[in-house]
Chains A and B, each alone.
Chain A
Amino acid sequence: MATAPVLPGGFELPLEPRLPRLGSVDAVALEERAASLATRSIKREAKLFALDLAIRVMDLTTLEGADTPGKVAALSSKGIRPDPSDPNIPSVAAICVYPNLVPFAVERTKGTNVKVASVATAFPSGQSSLEVKLLETREVVEAGAHEVDMVIDRGAFLSGRYAQVYDEIVRVKEVCAGRAHLKVILETGELGTYDNVRRASLLAIAGGADFIKTSTGKLPSSATLPVQLCMLEVIRDVHEETGRVVGMKAAGGIRQSKQAVQYLVQVYETLGLAWLTPDRYRLGASTLLNDVLMQIRKERTGRYQNPDYFTVD
């Protein structure tokens, strides 16, 4: 007669971790709330505050096949001093580049507060072996990148192999630990539902992400206001329940000051003032900066300047 296998001694059913409150997201209501926050009318001093902040939290990005050391050097200079004619304009938070260009960005930003972020782990698709991903991460960290923007394996996530996704994040985090901040890109445009965005956010945070980030910027559908709201709500829940602070980075498709202000308003009204610093919030963008500079000048002088007054880098 068959007998049921005896449980090993000291075994306790780990009930708590088995009943995690992942929570669900209602798409209609989420989008409604995001749309309602987007109608906030931010004027004068409040707008200048937001525009200044938008620069401080910006990850000035170039991720093109055509990138060269020269392009990265020019972008770094722009990031350090975005508007040479106005000493009150702050530097951006970081320069974000491909792995092999990290040394040039590091060289150019040395001695400033501007950080260097590198994408890694077979960005943007993440379709490579774990060994290659870890090797790439190790290389960029050793080259001096302060921040690593990794992508999750969406293939694994969508086929339900969550443990694999989690494991990869943990291993990349091990490489970064103590040396570089880890931002985990969910590529929400490929996840399909807000429930998946929430699940992936929790997975990334559990795996050790310092920041969770919306997108690679390589898809037609990148960051959106509802997606950011969904992720901010996860960050808020984690903070409430555990006290752990996780940062947020919205990236892709944010090209205009007006959008940037909408993203910042959402962070402010969801997580509060504490999250409005480069340590906890980032905007990833390649072309946003000049529009912000133009808007700042417009707020100060009352009129728009010719775009030729702002350097194109």
Chain B
Amino acid sequence: MTKDKRELARRQDKAPIATAWDYAPAPEARDIVKIQERYGLFIGGKFVEPESGERYTTIDPAREEPLAEVAQAGKADVDRAVRAARDAFANGWSALRPSERAKYLFRIARLLQERAREFAVLESINGGKPIRESRDVDIPLAAAHFFYYAGWADKLEYAFPNRKPRPIGVAGQIIPWNFPLLMLAWKIAPALAAGNTVVLKPAETTPLTALLFCDVLRQAELPPGVVNIITGDGRTGAELVSHPDVNKIAFTGSTEVGKAIQRTLAGTGKRLTLELGGKAANIIFDDAPLDQAVEGIVNGIYFNQGHVCCAGSRLLVEESIYETVIAKLKRRMATLRVGDPLDKNTDVGAINSKQQLDKIGALVQAGIDEGAEIYQPPCKLPERGYWFVPTVFTNVAQSYRIAQEEIFGPVLSVLTFRTPDEAIEKANNTPYGLSAGVWTEKGSRILAMAQRLRAGVVWANTYNRFDPASPFGGYKESGFGREGGRHGLEPYVVLDDA
């Protein structure tokens, strides 16, 4: 026994000291998803060939590999889709008992939950976002939106007391590539709940989950034409916007395109809601819970590679804690795991497209040229695919482009302030006004700040939190109209006097 023990002791003294703990790859299986070689347009309850005859290739941005051929809908295709929607609206859907409409929405929500893994994997393959986010955020929230609005469908008169709500007709909806299925849910759920029919165009680079969603509609036995999904680039969107028989346009995307849409619609009587860009201030006071605030900063800007319109891309730190916060932030950034979106341990995935990668690169270069100090943690990027290392700029002046323009990438600009007034002034000093964050232990200060911040959403001691019951939307050039909550029904109803 003693000899044994001595031997053990010797061996333990020589026990190797680990130099690294590399997490082994933990990829989510791709084979749950079946991607077709080519897709048509989903019009009138079935897939049809595009009359335009045009197609383009959608890719996996993490591998730069083609995934499928999708249709580029032309003028005639858009017209066909709108007619299908009008037909469905006039012949049944708008007159359906509201409780029946609710049943369809509940069914869709449940089917999304049942097929959640399939949708999550496809979302990550086509969009580049980490599976952890599509699995834990995008898909569950999308299902939650359908559940939420299913509940409103037969209670609309309670949403608008003393008014008589009725549907407005055909809604044309154009959504972005950053949260493809979630944005689809934000658009479709309230429209259907209120009795409208829909023509939806997913973003050019991320059409696949929307096309898979058509299969959910088939399973739910939604009447044909109630939801039509047409793919294509900006030209398709423009056709949809200018189609004379569309009653309402809902657009989420860039401020530039939003302005163009508003110009097109001027004088047409069509309704419009816009959810556009942002350059949110995330404000850290010196009494904030610092380690949690750092988590909030990271979640605010590196969540979904910074492809978030409400991203906390301008960090405002009270000067007395500036150095501590930056040190903590840099250390935290070094632990971010960038890489394969399908790896369950990935924190930051691939940039959605080459075009977006170039735009981020150009703005970061502008930041360097203007004299800001750049920090990027050491980070091994895959050879193929579109990637950008999480980046933070310090020594940023309010006048720099990186403090003014929306970068829509994993790039944070840090500014400082000395008093709450200065924080407000700097936070509001932007053409945008979508969201803001406040970090402080002091409840009264949270309320005072929230009142003075010109932003549609103000998060306190958290960031990037979403709930179907909570309205979301912007001030100023971040758009108008609200999505989510009771407010989200309003753009989809005409209110008559009771």
Which residues of A are interface residues toward B (Cβ below 8 A)? 23-26, 28-30, 32-33, 39-47, 49-50, 53, 56, 80-81, 90-91, 110-113, 233, 240, 268-269, 273, 276-277
Contacts and interface: CB of A to CB of B under 8 A. Distances in A.
A80 B8 contact: yes
Given A29-B295, A29-B462, A273-B19, A113 B290 contact: no
A273 B21 contact: yes
B327 interface: yes
B290 A23 contact: yes
CB-based closest 6 A-B pairs: A29-B292, A41-B26, A41-B344, A26-B289, A26-B292, A46-B24
Given A26-B461, A28-B462, A43 B287 contact: no
Interface string B1-23: 01011101100110101111111
B439 to A, nearest CB: 8
A80 B7 CA distance: 11
Tell which of B4, B6, B23 has the most Cβ of chain A within 10 Å: B23
Contacts of B136: 39
Contacts of A28: 461-462
Contact of A91 (B8, B25, B26): B8
Contacts of A80: 5, 8
Given A90-B15, A269-B335, A112 B8 contact: yes
A37 B21 CA distance: 15
Contacts, number: 91
Contacts of B441: 24
A111 B1 CA distance: 10
10 contacts: A29-B289, A30-B289, A40-B345, A41-B23, A46-B23, A49-B21, A111-B5, A268-B21, A273-B19, A277-B17
Contacts of B221: none
B9 A25 contact: no
Interface in B288-339: 288-293, 295-296, 327, 335
A272 to B, nearest CB: 9
Interface string B447-485: 000000000000001100000000000000000000000
Given A23-B289, A26-B289, A49-B21, A91 B12 contact: yes
Tell which of B18, B289, B291, B293 has the most Cβ of chain A within 10 Å: B291
Interface string B70-96: 000000000000000000000000000
B208 to A, nearest CB: 24
A121 B327 CA distance: 39
A273 B292 contact: no
A33 B410 CA distance: 19
Contact of B12 (A43, A113, A268): A113
A233 B291 CA distance: 7
B133 to A, nearest CB: 11
B132 interface: yes
Contact of B24 (A32, A44, A110, A268): A44
Contact of A29 (B5, B19, B22, B461): B461
Tell which of B5, B17, B26, B293 has the most Cβ of chain A within 10 Å: B5
Given A24-B441, A33-B295, A273-B20, 5 more contacts: A29-B289, A91-B8, A113-B12, A276-B18, A276-B21
Nearest to A40: B345
